[in-house]
Amino acid sequence: MLGKWQDPGYRREQSSAGLDAEFLLTHLQPEHAGMYFCAYKTPGSHGWSEKSEHLHLQVTDTLPRPFLHASPGSVVGRGGNVTLKCQGHLQNLTFMLGKWQDPGYRREQSSAGLDAEFLLTHLQPEHAGMYFCAYKTLDSHGWSEKSEHLHLQVTDNHDRLGASSAKTDSRVIFFTAFSCLAIFLLFPSVILIYRRSQPGSSHEESTKRTRHSFFPEQEASDLPKQERASLSLSTEDPQEGTGADGNSKTPSEAAAASVPAEEPPGPGDYATLNV
């Protein structure tokens, strides 16, 4: 049994061999809106079961908005074809395709299903624009709410080629910039590895260290002969500086004793000096 709250005269009964029953309501009007409920009874029972929860049925003046989309896409080349599909929410509908800011453009099509397809062929740039669709039932007095606008674009083939070439150019630029950056970052590492891998670098460092270790001896060899003689005298055994009497001599006395006495000049050694 199907009933309506606050409407005692509304009652519909239906027998069913299964676990449920369907009640079809057709040609609904705003006055059919309200709170509905149902109940059931078995052949042997004397009364109805407890009522179900109430269901609020709403009947609006406008039908739900349809959905419009393009196949294979909304961007089409010059001379190409496209299918605009308008999808509703009910069956047995009449669909309408319109164009924004073009009141003279209108195409209608009836469908037993939930949608309708509008095929547009041999498209030209003037066919581009904003399209929409709507639908109505057999008993409705007006069209449903319009769908969202679909922007159809008709492009030339060279425009599409230009766009693809622009994408290719951007990829080449990106790849070139990335390669240059990678080379710039890897170049110092390559130089450092190359320097460390040279066999002469460690030899030069060892040579420098050897030169520094023998530098005092080199300085001694570079001293004048007189300074080296003095240095050798100062470093000799102190016993060599003692005289025949056993007394030690000063360094100056020892140096004087070591220098042989000069002989008086002979007659041939004198020079004539004229004043």
The pLDDT tens digits of the residues spanning 105-130 come to: 999 999 998 999 999 999 999 999 99
pLDDT in tens, 43-92: 888 899 999 999 999 887 678 899 999 999 999 999 999 999 999 988 88
d(CA 17, CA 87): 36
Which two three-digit tokens encode residue 123? Answer: 């498209």
Question: How many CA atoms does the CB half-sphere of 220 hold within 13 Å?
Answer: 9
Measured CA distances, 29 to 64, 104, 249, 256 (Å): 15, 32, 148, 148
d(CA 273, CA 104): 143
**CA 83, 89, 93, 96 torsion: positive or negative?**
negative
Angle, in degrees to the nearest 10, between helices 200-213 and 215-222 = 60
- CB of 133 within 8 A of CB of 147? yes
d(CA 263, CA 182): 88
pLDDT at 15 over 50: yes
pLDDT at 234 over 90: no
